[in-house]
């Protein structure tokens, strides 16, 4: 039964039973934690799910809870545990003194700046924070909403956000609640505003900032079941990345060295025949587009994915060469039939129609040639296309659109190490690269690179290593294919 239909007394009974189980599990948990610590791996104890109204996040969380046999905590349960003082005290008492001290230390910076808040609101925030920390401490929990992913320690949990285009969310909400689209738009807009305001008031953070999440899934083209499987796979890959981190620390190596070794392997494999990757039910998706921030590891991930799937990779340099070199550009166009050339021309006309007549001729010609190159590559299929706004230009029905991101400071550190720069030089270079990419996308297709609605999945590489992300994208392609078949 869905949690949203539970009555208050049923929620109370369920919470009481959960607290009693926690007390019984304490010794077992301590034993498992000691084993994990001895192995040098931080155990992933929880999954936090932030979702927009109408995105299908509730159904995804419930599906995930059933698959993993983890306890699901939604907004109503968390509010009940935070507002009911007796349950709140019992929940806090279910952990040892050392853990209580750790919880207080973790929450102290959150509330030091809130002295001017309303007393009742501040009390609720404090209780909610402790409840979330206790649930996370006991583990095997899927926590929905209440800014859990932005409050809890990132190294011990998987942080997920579920999104979808605004109009699609409104349509879903209207159908589910038998109301008009006008009423649905007002309800969805109000929900988004309330969610943003709650997170801002609670933690002074922006809920839409991609660095807060390990993975963001867009349900426009992915079914709830497919997203649940992707999240489960992401959890597996987080664990793999942690184990790789431990191994690297013990061996004294770093990511750059691993990537270099991978590149050497690629060179050795040139000319060798390989079996193409097989997807469940057969691949219906023709290409994968990867947009990435500088220092996020997006190019390395694309190379690993191409190697894994035996698909051709096209990066910025290759695409620019094919667009600027007229001879190559013409050859590409002649590699498709007349019907396809006509289709490409029609798409380019609509895409370039809004361009200013006074725009620089050379730039306009480049945009036209780049668009044609991208469409030809997509038509030939089995392509991994990096950058150049490919995800925004190509038909979303036939492609998987990925965005690779990471926190700004981490990207700067990676860039500095890779290019032998100091911190200030790296910050300047990364800021410049971000600005140039944003300006290019805005000029070319009139969109923002940070708009998560233009991607199927956004992946944060702060806690996920390139090889793990490549495998996760491959499995996401599999699930996108399954979603297409199910919708058909």
Tokens of 311: 């698909």
Q: Three-class SS of residue 48?
A: strand
pTM metric for this prediction: 0.78
Tokens of 16: 């009481």
Radius of gyration of the chain (CA): 24
Architecture of the CATH domain 3-208: 3-Layer(aba) Sandwich (3.40)
Q: Write the Ramachandran bin of 135: left for phi over 0, alpha for psi from -120 to 50, otherwise beta.
A: alpha
Distance from the Cα of residue 410 to its chain's centroid: 17
> What does the pLDDT read at residue 403?
93
CATH homologous superfamily of 216-222+254-269+277-311+382-488 equals: P-loop containing nucleotide triphosphate hydrolases (3.40.50.300)
Topology match between the domains 3-208 and 216-222+254-269+277-311+382-488: yes
What are the residues whose beta carbons fall under 8 Å from the beta carbon of 194, sequence distance 6 or more? none
Q: How far apart are CA 168 and CA 181, in angstroms?
A: 10
In order, the DSSP letters of 346-370 are HHHHHHHTTS-TTS-HHHHHHHHHH
Domain boundaries, the chain: 3-208, 216-222+254-269+277-311+382-488, 323-375
Q: Can you name the residues that pair with 49 across neighbouring β-strands? A: 144, 160
Planar angle of CA 436, 441, 446, nearest 5 degrees: 135
**CB 232 within 8 Å of CB 479:** no
pLDDT along the chain (488 residues), means of 10: 58 67 56 47 78 92 90 84 78 74 78 65 82 84 88 88 94 92 93 90 86 92 91 87 62 50 47 42 74 91 90 85 78 78 78 65 79 83 87 85 92 90 92 90 81 90 89 89 73
> What does the pLDDT read at residue 24?
60
């Amino acid at each position: 039964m869905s949690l949203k239909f539970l009555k208050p007394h049923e929620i109370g009974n369920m919470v009481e039973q959960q607290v009693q189980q926690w007390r019984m599990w304490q010794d077992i948990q301590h034993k498992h934690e000691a084993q994990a610590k001895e192995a040098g791996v931080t155990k992933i104890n929880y999954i936090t799910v932030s979702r927009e109204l109408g995105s299908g996040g509730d159904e995804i969380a419930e599906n995930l809870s059933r698959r993993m046999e983890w306890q699901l905590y939604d907004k109503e349960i968390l509010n009940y545990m935070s507002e009911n003082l007796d349950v709140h005290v019992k929940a806090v008492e279910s952990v040892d003194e050392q853990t209580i001290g750790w919880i207080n230390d973790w929450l102290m910076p959150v509330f030091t700046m809130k002295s001017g808040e309303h007393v009742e609101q501040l009390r609720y925030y404090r209780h909610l924070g402790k409840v979330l920390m206790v649930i996370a401490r006991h583990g095997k929990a899927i926590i929905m909403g209440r800014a859990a992913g932005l409050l809890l320690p990132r190294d011990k949990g998987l942080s997920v956000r579920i999104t979808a285009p605004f109009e699609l969310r409104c349509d879903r909400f209207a159908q589910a609640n038998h109301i008009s689209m006008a009423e649905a738009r007002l309800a969805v807009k109000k929900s988004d505003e309330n969610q943003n305001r709650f997170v801002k008031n609670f933690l002074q953070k922006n809920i839409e900032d991609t660095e807060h999440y390990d993975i963001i899934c867009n349900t426009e083209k992915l079914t709830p079941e497919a997203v649940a499987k992707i999240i489960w796979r992401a959890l597996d890959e987080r664990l793999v990345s942690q184990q790789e981190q431990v191994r690297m620390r013990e061996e004294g190596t770093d990511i750059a060295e691993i990537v270099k070794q991978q590149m050497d392997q690629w060179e050795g494999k040139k000319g060798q025949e390989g079996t193409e990757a097989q997807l469940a039910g057969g691949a219906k998706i023709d290409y994968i587009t990867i947009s990435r921030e500088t220092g996020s590891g997006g190019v390395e991930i694309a190379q690993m994915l191409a190697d894994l799937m035996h698909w051709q990779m096209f990066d910025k340099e290759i695409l620019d060469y094919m667009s600027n070199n007229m001879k190559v550009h013409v050859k590409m166009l002649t590699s498709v039939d007349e019907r396809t050339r006509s289709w490409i021309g029609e798409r380019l006309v609509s895409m370039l129609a809004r361009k200013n007549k006074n725009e620089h001729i050379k730039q306009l010609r480049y945009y036209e040639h780049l668009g044609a190159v991208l469409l030809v590559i997509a038509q030939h299929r089995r392509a991994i296309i990096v950058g150049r706004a490919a995800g925004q230009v190509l038909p979303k029905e036939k492609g998987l659109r990925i965005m690779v991101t990471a926190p700004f400071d981490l990207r700067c550190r990676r860039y500095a190490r890779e290019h032998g720069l100091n911190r200030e030089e790296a910050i300047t270079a990364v800021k410049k690269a971000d600005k140039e990419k944003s300006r290019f996308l805005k000029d070319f297709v009139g969109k923002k690179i940070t708009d998560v609605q233009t991607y199927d999945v956004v992946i944060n590489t702060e806690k996920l290593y390139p090889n793990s992300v490549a495998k996760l994208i491959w499995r996401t392609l599999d699930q996108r294919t399954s979603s297409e078949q199910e919708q058909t």
